[in-house]
Amino acid sequence: MNKMTMYWVAVASSLYPDTSAEQLITLKQIQRKHEELFKDALTQSLEQQLISWKRRYSNPKVPAMGGSRNRYLFRTKDGHTPDPSGGFRLYKLSDGPHDSTDKSSGPTCPPRDEVQEQFRYLVDWYTSSYRDLPFDFDNETDADLAEASIDRSDLPLTEKISLFKSRRGQGVFRTRVALAERNCRLTGTTALHFLTASHIKPWKHSTNVERLDGNNGLLLAPHVDRLFDKGFLTFNQAGECMIAPEAIDVCHQWHLSGMGHRPFSPEQEKYMEYHRKHVYRRWIPAT
């Protein structure tokens, strides 16, 4: 393996199997893992090539954009890497909105046949689970940028207000969701004031039409909404609940066994298909 691939393996080994979008590791952790696996210290030049300390923003009005041009880069929580003391993680497909226009189109991870056989499970894990995992900032940077874009647009004020309310599951969106859903699918709760109108396809990834579409929402109890929003559970077309392995214990503790299965309408299913593919956490153990 070349030095860059060895570096990738060291970071992937530190993150595996936890696929949390918020998990970060420090440069010291990366250095220790590299020495543990390969009995060799990282060179400073390689570190600087892979983790850029300098800001490279293509758009100063959008400071979340930028970072190193190298797509082997490990990203800080806010999408760029100006601080060597910060935490890092592997590049994700969902990092695309944070890339500057001069970023190269290199691979997000090394080809499988270029990795030593004992580490190939990391490539399998990355391609099947980690790289597609939605990166949901705690401060919802992506959604904030989308909302700012709406605010700057020429949309009528009433439509802007409806879109802003829909982000929080309020207004016309909540009313429309209640026409398609009558209760929480896992707890059975029917009292609307105890339920959250949750977007199936995340608000920040939806078009303005989808943000107000009642078929793009579920009525969920707050703790179920949290699990659904973070991708710890989803539903198949028949309405059966699918739980990510790392959330099974907490679902048992919360007695979330699911009520009667209720299939989704074709209009709802197109959004559920997106949730299963892009939001739900698929986790593959080592073989």
pLDDT tens per residue across span 29-82: 888 999 999 998 887 766 666 554 444 444 555 544 444 444 445 555 554 544
pLDDT digits (tens, 9 = 90+) for 114-123: 899 999 988 8
What is the reported pLDDT for 277? 87
Its pTM stands at 0.55
Q: What is the pLDDT of residues 173-182, one digit of tens each?
A: 999 999 999 9
pLDDT 10s digits, 78-131: 545 445 556 777 777 666 555 544 444 445 688 888 899 999 988 888 877 777
What is the DSSP pairing of strand 241-243 with strand 196-199? unpaired
Indicate if the pLDDT at residue 160 is higher than 50: yes
Residue 2 has what pLDDT? 86
